Amino acid sequence: MTNSFVWSWLTVALVTALVLSLYELYRKREKRGGVRGARVPRGSNGWPFIGESLDFISCALSSKPESFVDKRRILYGKVFKTHLFGAHTILSSDVEVSRFILHSDAKTFVPDYPSSLMELMGKSSILVCNGDLQRRVHGLVGYFLKSGQLRDQVTSDLVRRMDGAMKDWKDGEVVLIQDQAKSILFPILVKALIGLEPGNDMHFIRYQFQEFVAGLISFPIKLPGSQLQRSLQAKKRIAAIIKRILQKKRNNIKGRIPRDAIDVLISDNNDELTDELISDNMVDFMIPAEDSVPVLITLVIKYLSECPRALHQLEDENMKLKNRKLMLGENLSWTDYLSLSFTQDVISESLRMGNVIVSTWRKAVRDVEIKGLLIPKGWRVISYLRFMHLAEENYKDPYEFNPWRWRENDINRCSFMPFGAGQRLCPGMDLARLEAAIFLHHLVTNFTWVAEEDQVVNFPTVRMKGGMPIRAIRKKQAVQMQ
Ligand code: HEM
């Protein structure tokens, strides 16, 4: 009896000592001072294991995902600590801190997205890899995506595909803009990346691709039948087709002007750019074709449908350009589309309000101090772009769709980061703006429309729940009907 009593007490004492020393260790780490006595930002770790993940997800599922930041900003300030998806996390809604993070190189911060996404991208993906290799691939592909040759090709392909699709639209019938934008745009970017023309392989890739993207934000478990496993297999199937194309290209690249991203990468004669690396990266580069750009276009059309004054001004700007070109007997070039300044302001405003990419995720590879705050080595740092785009301190009446604000001088342009910033600034940003401008031009100069009820969904990715249904009426007929 006495023995067991002693043992029980000893056990309790040992466990208490262990817990206290672990707590002390944790406290020291939290309070660790930097050179100038920087402190880990204030905040809460939430519940054991799950941290504050449930609240983060429940806010993300609401119409105001930024409410997660809103609540904590009042308590702890613009930069606070939290615990999300199993990682100590610092969340920044501060423009200066976020820009510092995005402009830092891989000696300070490296990408650290959810594990399903990192697994599907693989180590060699430009979105994951660091240092010279990331800079090389980013530079080569970025330069190609900005080239006049590619913009010419994208412009003529997109105009042709839009004309083809719009021919099938019956007056007054429902058209799902999100689906239309995806099926029109996907083959255009795939051609720009791997040189493939529409056909059976394109159909197969698109079909497999939908399975691939379904796993990007999924449960990180690689069991047979799990979404992650199915997505990995889909990526392998797509990569196999790309490798076949790549090998053909390698055999006759000499003296040929690069026509797509694969040509550009193999012309670099860099041993690090293996077939494996190129084909895997090409699959990852396809994500904006199925997701970001079509969603941006869909959001622009949603906001325009709710703001007749902006729609009228955009229509006017585009009709003037169309008529001028008709009089001159010329086709529109990519420079014409990009010269539509109000159209670009409408696109900027839609990027600000819609936040196609909500946040960027990094991990600190060393202790980092900024503005008296310490970001400890190994911690995840989320720059919450959406909050900065919807903060009153950066934009007056932030929830009001106001494309005219982009002409005003007092706007805080540094806070506008829909395409990220720094080393990983999106290499496809100009292409995305061009594609959106072409789509809008052909829609508003040929059709009027009435939007049906729909709503924005923000999690796991941004999209319109019902695909943004509109009832479109061909313009000539609309005039006759008046
Ligand atoms: C509306 C359309 C788009 C949006 C909102 C968007 C947004 C972004 C953002 C925020 C990043 C930075 C990610 C980070 O810092 O971790 C990024 C990177 C990237 N984007 Fe885009 N993007 C769009 C279209 C495109 C297009 C058309 C392409 C062309 C293929 C593209 C290719 C890439 C690539 C390759 C990266 C990674 C760059 C690197 O890590 O070096 N994006 N994008």
The Å distance, Cα 424 to ligand 1 centre, comes to 8
Q: Is the C-beta atom of 305 inside 6 A of ligand 1?
A: no
The Å distance, Cα 81 to ligand 1 centre, comes to 27
Which numbered atom of ligand 1 lies nearest the CA of 361? Answer: 16
The Å distance, Cα 462 to ligand 1 centre, comes to 15
Q: CA angle at residue 280 from 275 to 286, to 5 degrees?
A: 125
Q: Is 426 annotated as a binding residue?
A: yes
Q: What per-residue confidence (pLDDT) applies to 290?
A: 86
Residue of the CA atom closest to atom 18 of ligand 1: 426
Q: Report CA-CA distances (Å) from 138 to 112, 135, 327, 365.
A: 18, 5, 41, 21
Q: What per-residue confidence (pLDDT) applies to 16?
A: 58
Q: What per-residue confidence (pLDDT) applies to 216?
A: 86
> What does the block give as tokens for 242?
């790309």
Q: What is the DSSP string of 385-437?
A: HHHHHT-TTTSSSTTS--GGGGG-TT--GGG--TT--GGG--TTHHHHHHHHH
Q: Is the C-beta atom of 427 inside 6 A of ligand 1?
A: yes
d(CA 192, CA 144): 9
Which numbered atom of ligand 1 lies nearest the CA of 134? Answer: 41
Residues 6+ apart with CB under 8 A from 156: none
In the chain the first and final C-alpha atoms are separated, in Å, by 98
Residue from 178, 185, 227, 226 nearest 206 by CA? 185
Cβ atoms of 102 and 424 within 8 Å: the answer is yes
> What does the block give as tokens for 405?
């604000």
80's enclosing H/E stretch is strand 79-84
Site to probe by mutation for ligand 1, drawn from 426, 429, 435, 463 as the one with most ligand atoms within 8 Å of Cβ, is: 426
Q: Is the C-beta atom of 381 inside 6 A of ligand 1?
A: no
Residues 6+ apart with CB under 8 A from 434: 151, 154, 155, 334, 337, 338
Buried b (16+ CB within 10 A) or exposed e, 180-202: bbbebbbbbbbbbbbbbeeeebb
Residue of the CA atom closest to atom 38 of ligand 1: 424
Q: Report CA-CA distances (Å) from 136 to 106, 133, 189, 193, 288.
A: 14, 5, 21, 16, 20
Residue from 297, 410, 296, 445 nearest 356 by CA? 296
Residue of the CA atom closest to atom 12 of ligand 1: 420
The Å distance, Cα 134 to ligand 1 centre, comes to 13
The Å distance, Cα 282 to ligand 1 centre, comes to 13
The Å distance, Cα 292 to ligand 1 centre, comes to 8
Q: Is the C-beta atom of 383 inside 6 A of ligand 1?
A: no
pLDDT string in tens for the chain (482-residue length): 455 655 666 666 665 555 555 555 555 555 554 445 689 999 999 999 899 999 999 999 999 999 999 999 999 999 999 999 999 999 999 999 999 999 999 999 999 988 888 889 888 899 889 999 999 999 999 999 999 999 999 999 999 999 999 999 999 999 999 999 999 999 999 999 999 999 999 999 999 999 999 888 888 888 888 999 999 999 999 999 999 999 999 988 777 888 999 999 999 989 999 999 999 999 999 998 889 999 999 999 999 999 999 999 999 999 999 999 999 999 999 999 999 999 999 999 999 999 999 999 999 999 999 999 999 999 999 999 999 999 999 999 999 999 999 999 878 899 999 999 999 999 999 999 999 999 999 999 999 999 999 999 999 899 999 999 999 999 974 443 33
Site to probe by mutation for ligand 1, drawn from 419, 425, 430 as the one with most ligand atoms within 8 Å of Cβ, is: 419
Q: Report CA-CA distances (Å) from 61 to 56, 112, 462.
A: 9, 22, 10
47's enclosing H/E stretch is none
The Å distance, Cα 325 to ligand 1 centre, comes to 33
> Can you point out the beta strands (E) in 165-285?
174-176
Numbers of helices and strands, H then E, in the chain: 20, 12
- For the chain, the maximum distance between any two Cα atoms, rounded to a whole number of angstroms, is 105
The Å distance, Cα 19 to ligand 1 centre, comes to 45
Q: Is the C-beta atom of 294 inside 6 A of ligand 1?
A: no
Residue of the CA atom closest to atom 30 of ligand 1: 285
d(CA 324, CA 186): 30
Q: Is the C-beta atom of 432 inside 6 A of ligand 1?
A: yes
d(CA 300, CA 11): 64
> What does the block give as tokens for 116?
């399903």
d(CA 455, CA 291): 17
Q: CA angle at residue 226 from 221 to 229, to 5 degrees?
A: 80
